[in-house]
């Protein structure tokens, strides 16, 4: 027993089509955008690789496996437990660690060395020093969300001489990349002790507005914030206040609420903020694209018995161990 009729709706190279065909030679693969298919055609798919919206999912009564392109799982997909209770939901968790962790290190180094200020000064031809810079060597880095992205970031920061501390929801799991591992109820205790806070969290009821005025107040004066998970984890008005007051020496965010961020939002004008349009992942690094396809092929082949590479729990929204 295996999947028979699979829709792949995501950017593809020709080599990936051959990989899908090799993974499930008995299946029929359709490579198309959702909008280009009729409701009748959509109703026949038992497997999907991509991120369909809720209206599209409603037209897929035979869906047995949904393989998302994203590492995080948006709340709308968690509703599948009610509309499609027998459907296996898989994320692409594990695909983005290299690309996003390297983006995080690049952004942090830019802030520590004030390269963003020198870049801005080029516009006016200003040949002037911006003063003291800092090194990651000896810094204490708190990584909130110790999945593949947080783990890869921890390894890179250790290689640069930082002391890394991980926060995860539950005890146990891998410790490589981390000098200490704690559970999330230790967040408030640890915030005053670290120089950098890095967020790589999915959106869940527990993570929305996790960083607000109260949490920023707990952070060290002159510390740094990085966010590559979901924009909802950071209260953006509170972030503006923390930057303007000097509480934070700098921040880098690759995610906002909403996306795209409105052009008149004050975040755009913050001198010590690096704001990128959710580009740390996606497929700009070919290795990421390769990883997503490999995960998708593994999960398609594994249906229905498993084990699945990145099955998402409908209870927690996180990858099942």
Are 152 and 176 a contacting pair, CB within 8 Å? no
Catalytic site includes residue 278: yes
State CA 297 to chain mean position distance: 21
CA–CA separation, 292 and 70 (whole Å) = 9
Count the neighbouring beta carbons within 10 Å of the beta carbon of residue 189. Answer: 10
3-state helix, strand, coil in the chain (%, to 5): 35, 15, 45
d(CA 285, CA 17): 19
Q: Which of 102, 265, 278, 320 is catalytic?
A: 278
The catalytic position among 116, 230, 311, 319 is 230
Beta-sheet strand order (sheet of 47-49) = 28-31, 5-8, 47-49, 65-67, 88-90
In angstroms, the CA 317 to CA 203 distance is 8
Beta strand 248-253 with 5-8: parallel, antiparallel or unpaired? unpaired
Strand partners, 182: 167
Q: Is 215 a catalytic residue?
A: no
Q: Quick one: which H or E segment has residue 207?
A: none
Point out the catalytic residue in the list 119, 189, 214, 259. Answer: 259
Has 189 been annotated as catalytic? no
CA-to-CA separations, 262 to 254, 265, 305, in angstroms, rounded: 15, 6, 45
CB atoms within 10 A of CB 43: 13
The catalytic residue positions are 230, 259, 278
């Amino acid at each position: 027993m295996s999947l028979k009729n699979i829709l792949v709706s995501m950017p593809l190279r020709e080599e990936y089509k051959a990989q899908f065909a090799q993974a499930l030679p008995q299946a029929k693969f359709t490579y198309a955008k959702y909008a280009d298919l009729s409701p009748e055609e959509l109703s026949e798919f038992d497997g999907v690789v991509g991120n369909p919206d809720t209206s599209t999912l409603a037209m897929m009564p035979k869906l047995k496996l949904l393989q998302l392109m994203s590492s995080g799982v948006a709340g709308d997909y968690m509703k599948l437990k009610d509309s499609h209770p027998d459907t296996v939901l898989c994320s692409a968790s594990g695909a983005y660690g290299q690309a996003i962790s390297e983006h995080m290190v690049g952004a942090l180094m830019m802030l520590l060395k004030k390269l963003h200020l020198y870049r801005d000064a080029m516009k006016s031809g200003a040949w002037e020093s911006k003063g003291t810079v800092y090194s990651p060597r000896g810094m204490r880095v708190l990584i909130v969300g110790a999945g593949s992205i947080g783990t890869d970031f921890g390894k890179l920061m250790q290689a640069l001489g930082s002391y890394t501390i991980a926060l995860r929801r539950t005890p146990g799991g891998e410790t490589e990349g981390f000098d200490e591992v704690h559970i999330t109820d230790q967040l408030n205790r640890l915030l005053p002790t670290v120089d950098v806070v890095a967020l790589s969290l999915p959106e869940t009821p527990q993570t929305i507005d996790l960083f607000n005025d109260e949490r920023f107040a707990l952070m060290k004066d002159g510390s740094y914030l990085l966010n590559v998970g979901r924009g909802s984890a950071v209260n953006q008005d509170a972030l503006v206040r923390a930057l303007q007051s000097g509480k934070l020496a700098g921040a880098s965010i690759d995610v906002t609420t909403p996306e795209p961020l409105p052009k008149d939002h004050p975040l755009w004008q913050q001198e010590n903020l690096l704001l990128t349009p959710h580009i740390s992942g996606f497929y700009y690094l070919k290795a990421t694209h390769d990883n997503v396809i490999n995960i998708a092929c593994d999960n398609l082949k594994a249906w229905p018995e498993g084990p699945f590479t990145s099955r998402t729990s409908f209870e927690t929204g996180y990858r099942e161990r």
